[in-house]
């Protein structure tokens, strides 16, 4: 008969095999402090209170005296995933935030004055063999096809007709080939999430931070002291304090990587105006020193001018913005100053930066709220225990670096691929040197019309196709695979355009859809 030996540790009897389970003893975090409200703070609070369902205190500190940026009111499709994770009903969400639907972004005057193109959510055509729709279109264009590339995607067929409906679930239907996101009031979204978070147990404290206490040996943040003397201790701190980065930079001095030599705009003005047309898309119009946005909501239109202060004065920028509104302004333009770039560390010690405290990308492709969502998703995927394993922190930062750089390159693409020479900004952008990671992608398309993908790309091939073609980066040759195909490209593309147009007409008008499904409360 075999007798298992018994080990003794301070009176505890442990048999072989049990030591492994002892090494997995949990050291869970019990106190989380979120510094800052707005979209970043309340999106983080809502996600954590949904995911951490027991034995964890979540406190959010914000001050009504500190305004939120509130620039981002347009989103990209992944926001739907975030809302579903929180269990938010779409109609309720759109109603509570006075939102509308978004099928993509129309770019005006970017490649050249008078030029327009559309960046759609979804695909061009339907994939059915190795030859992609954009390659077939490029080949047909070389033989004289006049139909714009935009006309070969479902999102634009619906957008230009002013229509919207839910995508079909049958992949054989062209109505399954588009996606969508939202326009909404970011302040109302934060308030909506605040109500949900507080109902789930998140404690909100009003106040400003006067002092950050750090451990003298480790540098870890231990507590925050507010101006009224209250002290809030924690184990994990989420910095949502905006550009100031009170914890990630003010306390931990992580440093900042400046990208203004590639993305020169450093200021913005934002102003709402009366709603004239509820288009199901965002519009971005290039101006002499930057670009202007137009975002239609249920109750107003959001407008802004993102510009380079080296190329235009604040006063001239404000005049240009106000002169190009669809309706009467509903206030004075609000100024915003920023430096495009990112923190050198998104997570340091026991502090994670989410939102503007982690870096800033101008809202050209509506990524502001997405970067908040992405930071939250990574935090949940790499959620720490009290050991704060450096391996976990390094991986979080590695992925964050790559995500920011991939978005950076996609934004630079818009500025670089311009033929405009009417102002100094556009001449400077056309002449600027590029990151190697972008240079090779431009060259691949210039030679063969091919899209080279990269790890952690937020924007897929259709997005890159839209900008390359929309801004006239015409390939020198067509994809060699086309020489082996027997399909009549002209006939196939013609039938595709007809199917997309018919699909768009089967949808209700965008405004009617909003009013029927999720009209704002009176």
Residues assigned a catalytic role: 102
- Cβ contact 236:352 at 8 Å: yes
- Sign of the torsion angle spanned by Cα atoms 481, 487, 490, 496: negative
Could you give the CA distance from residue 496 to residue 493 in angstroms, rounded to a whole number?
5
Closest residue by Cα to residue 164 from 217, 227, 90: 90
Residue 247 DSSP one-character state: I
Q: Which helix (H) or strand (E) holds 286?
A: strand 282-287
End-to-end CA distance of the chain: 81
Q: Which helix (H) or strand (E) holds 359?
A: strand 359-360
- CA angle 68/70/73 to nearest 5° reads 160
Q: How far is CA 23 from CA 18, 19, 186, 235, 383, in A?
A: 9, 7, 45, 22, 19
Give one word for 54, left, alpha or beta, with left for phi > 0 and alpha for psi -120 to 50: beta
Residue 474: other Cβ atoms inside 10 A: 12
Strand bridging mode 104-108 / 236-239: unpaired
Instruction: Tell me the Cα Rg of the chain.
Output: 26
Q: At what angle do helices 38-51 and 368-381 cross, to 10 degrees?
A: 30
Length of the chain: 522
Q: Could you give the 3-state DSSP secondary structure of residue 119?
A: strand
Burial 414-451 (b: 16+ CB within 10 A, else e): bbbbbebeebebbeebeeeeeeeebeebbeebbebbbb
Backbone angles phi and psi of 486, in degrees to 5: -110, -10
- Cβ contact 52:30 at 8 Å: no
Could you give the CA distance from residue 272 to residue 124 in angstroms, rounded to a whole number?
33
Question: CB neighbours of 374 closer than 8 A, spacing ≥ 6?
Answer: 400, 403, 458
Closest residue by Cα to residue 384 from 240, 235, 271, 243: 235
Residue 355 DSSP one-character state: G
Strand bridging mode 236-239 / 31-35: parallel
Could you give the CA distance from residue 521 to residue 301 in angstroms, rounded to a whole number?
18
């Amino acid at each position: 008969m075999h007798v298992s030996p018994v080990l003794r540790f301070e009176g505890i009897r442990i048999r072989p095999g049990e030591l492994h389970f002892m090494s997995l003893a949990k050291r869970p975090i019990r106190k989380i402090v979120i510094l800052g409200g707005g979209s970043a703070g309340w999106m983080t609070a809502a996600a954590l209170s949904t995911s951490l369902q027991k034995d964890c205190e979540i406190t959010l500190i914000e001050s009504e005296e500190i305004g939120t940026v509130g620039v981002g009111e347009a989103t990209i499709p992944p926001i739907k995933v975030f809302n579903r994770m929180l269990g938010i009903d779409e109609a309720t969400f759109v109603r509570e935030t006075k939102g509308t639907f978004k099928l993509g972004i129309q770019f005006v005057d970017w490649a050249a004055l008078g030029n327009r193109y559309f960046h759609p959510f979804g695909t061009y055509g339907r994939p059915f063999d190795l030859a992609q729709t954009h390659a077939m279109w490029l080949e047909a264009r070389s033989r004289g096809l006049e139909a714009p590339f935009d006309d070969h995607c479902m999102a634009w067929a619906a957008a230009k007709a002013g229509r919207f409906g839910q995508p079909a679930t049958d992949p054989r239907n062209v109505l399954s080939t588009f996606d969508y996101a939202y326009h909404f009031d970011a302040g109302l979204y934060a308030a909506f999430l605040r109500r949900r978070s507080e109902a789930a147990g998140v404690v909100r404290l009003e106040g400003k931070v006067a002092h950050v206490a750090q451990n003298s040996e480790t540098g870890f943040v231990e507590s925050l002291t507010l101006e009224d003397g209250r002290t809030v201790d924690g184990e994990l701190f989420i910095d949502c304090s905006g550009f100031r980065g009170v914890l990630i930079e003010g306390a931990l001095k992580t440093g900042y990587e400046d990208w203004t030599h590639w993305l020169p705009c450093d200021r913005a003005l934002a102003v709402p105006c009366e709603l004239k047309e509820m288009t199901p898309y965002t519009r971005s119009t290039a101006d002499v020193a930057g670009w202007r946005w137009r975002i239609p909501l249920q109750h107003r239109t959001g407008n802004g001018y993102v510009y380079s202060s080296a190329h235009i004065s604040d006063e001239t920028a404000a005049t240009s913005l106000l002169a190009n509104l669809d309706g009467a302004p509903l206030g004075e333009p609000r100024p915003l100053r920023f430096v495009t770039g990112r923190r050198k560390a998104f997570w340091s010690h026991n502090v994670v930066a989410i939102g503007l405290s982690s870096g800033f990308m101008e809202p050209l492709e509506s990524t502001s709220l997405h970067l908040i969502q992405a930071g939250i998703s990574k935090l949940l995927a790499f959620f720490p225990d009290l050991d704060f394993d450096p391996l976990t922190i390094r991986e979080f930062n590695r992925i964050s670096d790559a995500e920011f750089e991939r978005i950076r390159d996609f934004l630079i693409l818009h500025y670089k691929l311009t033929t405009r020479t009417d102002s100094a900004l556009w001449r400077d952008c056309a002449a600027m040197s590029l990151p190697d990671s972008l240079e090779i992608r431009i060259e691949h398309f210039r030679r063969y019309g091919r899209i080279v993908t990269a790890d952690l790309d937020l924007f897929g091939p259709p997005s890159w196709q839209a900008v390359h073609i929309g801004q006239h980066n015409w390939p020198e040759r067509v994809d060699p695979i086309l020489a082996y195909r027997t399909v009549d490209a002209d006939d196939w593309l013609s039938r595709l355009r007809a199917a997309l147009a018919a699909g768009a007409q089967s949808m209700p008008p965008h405004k009617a859809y909003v009013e029927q499904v999720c009209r704002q409360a009176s």
